[in-house]
Amino acid sequence: MSHSPNFLREFHFWYEITIFIISWVLGWMVLLLIMFKTPRSFRGYSHMIALNTVVDLIYSLTDLITMETVDLHGGILYMFPANPYFPTNIISARWASSFWIFALYMTIMALPMQFMYRYGLLCRDKPFTAKHLAGTFGSSLVYLAIHCYIFKFTFKSPSPFYTKILAENPIYTNDMPSDYIAGDARELNAMFVHFADCNLIIIVCYGAVFWFGYQISQTLKRTMGSLSKQTAAAQKHITRIMALQQAMVQIRQALPNLEDAGYIMGLVRELAEFEKMPDHVKIDEKTMAADLERDAVRVKLAFVNGKIAGMALYFYIYSSWEGQSIHMEDLYIKNEFRRQGLARLLVKELAKEASEKKMPRINWTVLDWNTNARNFYHKIGAVNLTEKEGWLGYRLTSDGIKALATES
């Protein structure tokens, strides 16, 4: 089913407003809890939570004002403000994107601060002072401000060439924004350096998170036995919260283009290796993109901090007893992202889709030796049909199909 461009823009407008309201309500609830409900012993750490919350509120407000839209297509990064009440000209688009990027990366730069604070508290003879923390965060913001000021000069104005590439995305085919800016990093140029600096910021921030986190965990392992049960439980709970905060998880529907098809086929080949059947993959990215286009297959893609992490590949089937249902062909998480709850999130997305479409079933198969997968499926409430009802799987391969189709 397709929708008109006006419908999509209106949906996006109200979606952004809804997200803003939810974000601000939750953010102010956190701040109120910090002000009135935080125990004295956690007062210092609560200031770090407050910093992250305020930064998130600033980002939510910036996102509401600009409703910035980002599309990475054909090696080109497109950005434009989608708020219908925002000025539609290239100068405004450049400044809007700069401020939006500043707010976005400020949320990333705020993450290491609570790890740094806790590291100073647990691992140093003297904790970091407020000046140390403020100086570190302030210096990072100055660097970010310089980055974002230069940022707008690395993007190019609309052109027929860039418009043609963006139009390959079906969302913009009949609804092309007039005020987009295009970051072309296919060659070694200013945009390439800009992307490199973006990656540097992320690497430094998350490198600090992981380094501080590792030092904290080692200290806690050495001292946990000497802590009271209540203090030890509190420290474990704080660690879980901080681990969740550092991961930015995105799950989205795969688009019918070669970029997403590349993500999918990369995961398909990894899965085939894992299942000890690497030679069984017969299709390529072009076939996958074409099959996505004609809705022969659907895929939920999972990203962690912008990196492809896993997928759920599925399609609609039909039960003569209960009607249309979902068959999940592949559920795969890359090794470095396992045990973070991504598999459950992906299956949950399929469950939401099945529930919305009133589909009674989600079917899939699993190899008998894959104990971890079988245990996971058992935990989410799936039924082993071979054990319960005696179903066996059969397959007619290409040779069998040809022989049967041509027999006289």
Q: What is the mean pLDDT of the chain?
A: 85
pLDDT range class, residue 224, cuts 50, 70, 90: low
Write the pLDDT tens digit of every residue in 341-391: 889 999 999 999 999 999 999 999 998 898 999 999 998 999 998 888 888
CA gap 401, 251 in Å, rounded = 37
The overall longest dimension of the chain from CA atoms, in Å, is 88
Superfamily per CATH, domain 251-364: Gcn5-related N-acetyltransferase (GNAT) (3.40.630.30)
The position carrying tokens 């069984």 is: 280
CA gap 306, 205 in Å, rounded = 14
pLDDT range class, residue 64, cuts 50, 70, 90: very high
CATH 3.30.70.141 fits 6-245, yes or no: no
Closest residue by Cα to residue 172 from 87, 70, 306: 70
**Average pLDDT rounded to a whole number, residues 11-39:** 87
For 399, phi then psi, to 5°, come to: -65, -45
Write the pLDDT tens digit of every residue in 377-398: 998 999 998 888 888 878 787 8
The pLDDT of residue 329 is 96
The residues, ordered by sequence, that sit 6+ positions from 105 with a Cβ below 8 Å of its Cβ are: 144, 147, 148, 198, 201
Residue 3 has pLDDT above 60, yes or no: no
More reliable by pLDDT, 316 or 215: 316
Element (H, E) at 273: helix 258-274
What is the location of CATH 3.40.630.30 in the chain?
251-364
Closest residue by Cα to residue 155 from 135, 172, 179, 139: 179
For 301, phi then psi, to 5°, come to: -100, 135
pLDDT range class, residue 291, cuts 50, 70, 90: very high
Closest residue by Cα to residue 116 from 216, 245, 39, 236: 216
User: Please, what is the end-to-end C-alpha distance for the chain in angstroms?
Assistant: 42
CA gap 260, 288 in Å, rounded = 9
Residue 117 has pLDDT above 70, yes or no: yes
What is the location of CATH 1.20.1070.10 in the chain?
6-245
Calculate the alpha carbon distances from 122 to 220, 222, 236, 239 in Å: 8, 11, 13, 13
Write the pLDDT tens digit of every residue in 174-218: 778 888 888 887 766 788 888 889 999 999 999 999 998 888 878
The position carrying tokens 């904790």 is: 127
**Average pLDDT rounded to a whole number, residues 138-147:** 95
